[in-house]
Structure 1
Amino acid sequence: MAKLKSGTGRFMAGVLLVGAVWGLVGVIQASTEQRSWASTEGTVQERLKSGKSVSVKVEFPLPDGSKQVATLSENGPARQPGERVTVRYDLQDGKVTEAALADNDEAHWVWSVILGFVILGALFANFVAWTSPPRYD
């Protein structure tokens, strides 16, 4: 691997910093967008496992009185059939375009903290890469 003071090392440190900042901005935007969605109480119909990921099938009412069933990623505590959950959803032209469990905020916080640490590491790497070596006169 190239030394951090090399051109390649400086480039990689810069790419890491830009990528981590871009990721953090994306997580914050997604979290902010989901908080602006309408929310309602839904009922877990089924718990689904696929490999390491877990999702739940949730039925929830829409403002027009109809019922919507959606399969949503479970990022918080384990939900069991019959349990009531808060669902956030985005409506466009009377149709649900996206939906998520309200406890999705926990996942956004976790990603924000992880990316924050990556940014701090990248800032340190950039500091090391771009400072001049000590001179011994």
Structure 2
Amino acid sequence: MAGTSGGVVAKSLRSTTGRVVAGVVLVGAVLGLVIVLRSSAEQRSWASAEGTVQERTRSGKSTSVKVEYPLPDGTTQVATLSENGPIRNVGERVTVRYDLVDGRVVDAALADNDQAHWVTGGMLGVVVLGAMVANLLAWAPKPRSG
């Protein structure tokens, strides 16, 4: 009985639709993983500054912090940033990474945002492995009856 459901799954994966779906899932998961890794690497290359949490806000299940941090030209920037790591309290010092283009901040994130990238990358890695197994099942030669 235990081998029966595996046989049904393998048969449905070997159909044209099953092969297409398995291929699309694999391609999508690999592209997602590449995007997450590139985004993480890009953020690590941004300039950083020590800022101070001014306020915490909660909207549904997500929490944001308003952080004030200095820029290289001596001005200060205030930004509301997603809190993906540990809970930050008002007055706490945090490291902010920011991307400057023509002297203006175009994007910013808390430095502990890497944790969110690791979690997303790990989940996508599991999906990639599952999709690879599904593709192996979909494209494996049919066992000979004999």
Smaller-chain TM-score range?
over 0.9
Residue of structure 1 in register with 2:67 after alignment: 58
- Any stretches of 5+ residues in structure 1 without a counterpart? none
**TM-score of the aligned structures, taking structure 1 as reference length:** 0.97
Residue 70 (structure 1) aligned with residue 59 (structure 2): no
**TM-score of the aligned structures, taking structure 2 as reference length:** 0.91
Residue of structure 2 in register with 1:104 after alignment: 113
Divergent runs of 4+, >4 A? none
Residue of structure 2 in register with 1:25 after alignment: 34
Residue 48 (structure 1) aligned with residue 57 (structure 2): yes
> Equivalent of 1:6, from 10, 15, 20?
15
* RMSD after superposition: 1.2
Q: Per residue, is there more helix in 1 or in 2?
A: 2
Residue of structure 2 in register with 1:88 after alignment: 97
- Any stretches of 5+ residues in structure 2 without a counterpart? 1-8
CA distance in 2 between counterparts of 1:16 and 1:93 reads: 39
- Percent identical residues: 68
CA distance in 2 between counterparts of 1:127 and 1:92 reads: 45
Residue of structure 1 in register with 2:134 after alignment: 125
Code of the aligned partner of 2:68: E
